[in-house]
Structure 1
Amino acid sequence: MDDKEILEKALEFHGHRCWASVAGVRVGLAALEKLGIKRSGGTQLYGIVEIGEEHGGMCFGDGVQYATGCTFGKGNIRKNPLGKLGFTLIEKDTNRAVRVVFTSTLQKQIAASKFMQQRAAGISPDEIPLEDQMELVELVWNAPKEEVLKIGEVFEYPGKWIPEVMGFKPCDRCGELTALAYLRVDGTQHVCIPCSGYDR
C-alpha cells in the first residue's frame, strides 16, 4: 500500500474525514520511516500515543493505529494521556524507538476552516459536507513534513516485553470465556476477575 492508500483506508476506518486523523497517519508514517521499518500486522511494534480523553483531536489515535498497525485490539499500543498529538513507536526486537509530534503550525488555518466552524456549531463530523471535510484533509496531508512534524532522534526504549499468553477457559463460576492470564485461583476454582472479588 502506498501512503495515499493508507490515508484513504484510515479515514474509512475512522468513519469521517478530519484533520486529527490525517495528522495521526502522517505521524505514524514518519515514525515508521525514521526507524526504517514497515507497518506491522502482528505485534512486532509497540506504540505509545499521548492523546487523552474527551478532547477534540483524539481522532489522531485512529490515524496512528492504522498507519503503524499498532492497535488497541492487538494490545500493542497504549495511551499516555497528556492531551498531546505525540506518538512514540518502538521496534520490540531492538528496542529502537522514536517520538514524533504533530506541531501547531496549521492551528489557525484548522480553526478557521469550514469544517471546524461547523464542528463548533455542534454539527456531527459525518454530517459536514464532503468538500468541507476534504479541504481540511488536503491542508494537513499536503503540508510540508518539516513544517508540521517534529521528528525526534532514534533512541533506545527500556522495554521488557512480556510474551503473549494464549488461550481461554470458561470461568468456573459464571461460565464466561476468560483469557488464561485473567483467571484467578479461588480455592480449587479458576475464576474471572469479577467472580474472584479482586480488583485486577
Structure 2
Amino acid sequence: MACTLNPETIAKVVAFHGHSCPGLTIGLRAAEMALRELGEPSGDWVCITETDMCGVDAIQALTGCTFGKGNLVHRDYGKMAFTFFDRAAGKGFRLLLRPEARGGTDKEMGRLMGRIQDGLATPEEKARAAELREGLQRRLMSLDLGEMFSLSVVDAPPVRPARILQSLVCEECGERAMESRTRRFAGKTLCLPCFTEVEQKV
C-alpha cells in the first residue's frame, strides 16, 4: 500500500527538513511503519537510527523522538536501519531498507552524483540525476511498507531512559563537560578533546 500519511503531514515534514528527497522519504515511511505498529507516539518511544541521513529528520518530526529528549540515539553504522521501541507497551522492532526498494538505480545514481559533486557533470547528466531522484522518490512513496523494509522484532528496550549527570570541570581547558564524557589521565579530569590531545594511543 502506498504512503497513508496525509499531504499536510508530509508538507510539514518537508518544511522541517528544508527540502524533499529520497532520503527524507525513507525516514518518512519508516516513521509511518512505527505509527502503524506502535500507535500514537508518546514519551516512552525510543528510536535508534543507524544512519545520519535526511530521513532522521522525518523520524523526529513524526514520532517525537529527538536527540534533546534522549530518545533518539544515533549509532554510526552507515546502515539504512531504524529500531523503534515503546517502553510502556514493552514492544519494538527494527526496520532495514530492502536493497530492491531502490529499484536498481544505485549504480547510475552514484556515478552521476559523484560527477556532480566533482563539478564535472554535464547539463544532461544533471537532468538525468534529477530524473532518477524524482523517480526513486515516487517509487518509495508508492511501495507497500512490507516491500520497502524487512522487520525484525526487538524483545528488550534498546537504551535506558536518559539520565541527568553531573558536569565536571576539565583541568586542562577549564570547560565543563558531562561526567560520562570525561576521562582521567595522569591524575587529572579531562574533557574528551583535551584527553585526545595528551593520550598518545588515541
TM bracket, shorter-chain basis: 0.5 to 0.7
Q: Secondary structure at the match of 2:13?
A: helix
Q: Aligned equivalents of 1:4 and 1:87: distance in 2?
A: 23
- Whether the 8 Å contact between 1:17 and 1:134 is mirrored in structure 2 is no
- Whether the 8 Å contact between 1:26 and 1:141 is mirrored in structure 2 is yes
Q: Aligned equivalents of 1:189 and 1:116: distance in 2?
A: 48
Q: Secondary structure at the match of 1:17?
A: coil
Identity level (%)? 24
Q: Aligned equivalents of 1:90 and 1:50: distance in 2?
A: 14
User: CA, structure 1 residues 137+50, in 2 after alignment: closer, same or farther (shift >3 Å)?
Assistant: same
- Whether the 8 Å contact between 1:45 and 1:91 is mirrored in structure 2 is yes
Q: What is the Cα deviation at residue 161 of structure 1?
A: 1.5
TM-score if structure 1 supplies the norm length?
A: 0.64
User: CA, structure 1 residues 15+116, in 2 after alignment: closer, same or farther (shift >3 Å)?
Assistant: farther
Alignment of 1:120-139 (within 5 A): 120-122=114-116, 132=131, 134-139=134-139
1:35 aligns to 2:31 (yes or no): no
1:119 aligns to 2:145 (yes or no): no
**Residue in structure 1 matched with residue 80 of structure 2 by the alignment:** 85
User: CA, structure 1 residues 92+122, in 2 after alignment: closer, same or farther (shift >3 Å)?
Assistant: same
Q: Aligned equivalents of 1:179 and 1:101: distance in 2?
A: 33
User: CA, structure 1 residues 103+195, in 2 after alignment: closer, same or farther (shift >3 Å)?
Assistant: closer
**Residue in structure 2 matched with residue 144 of structure 1 by the alignment:** 144
Q: What is the Cα deviation at residue 99 of structure 1?
A: 1.6
Letter in 1 for 2:10: L
* Superposition CA RMSD, Å: 4.2
**Residue in structure 1 matched with residue 29 of structure 2 by the alignment:** 26
**Residue in structure 2 matched with residue 174 of structure 1 by the alignment:** 173
Q: Aligned equivalents of 2:30 and 2:22: distance in 1?
A: 12
Tell me which protein shows more helix as a share of its residues. 2
**Residue in structure 2 matched with residue 70 of structure 1 by the alignment:** 65
In structure 2, the gaps of 5 or more residues are: 119-125
- Whether the 8 Å contact between 1:48 and 1:80 is mirrored in structure 2 is no
- Whether the 8 Å contact between 2:50 and 2:76 is mirrored in structure 1 is yes
In structure 1, the gaps of 5 or more residues are: 53-57
Letter in 2 for 1:121: R
User: CA, structure 1 residues 49+183, in 2 after alignment: closer, same or farther (shift >3 Å)?
Assistant: closer
How many residues align? The count is 186
User: CA, structure 1 residues 37+145, in 2 after alignment: closer, same or farther (shift >3 Å)?
Assistant: same
Letter in 2 for 1:122: I
Q: Aligned equivalents of 1:3 and 1:168: distance in 2?
A: 44
Q: What is the Cα deviation at residue 194 of structure 1?
A: 4.3
**Residue in structure 1 matched with residue 47 of structure 2 by the alignment:** 47
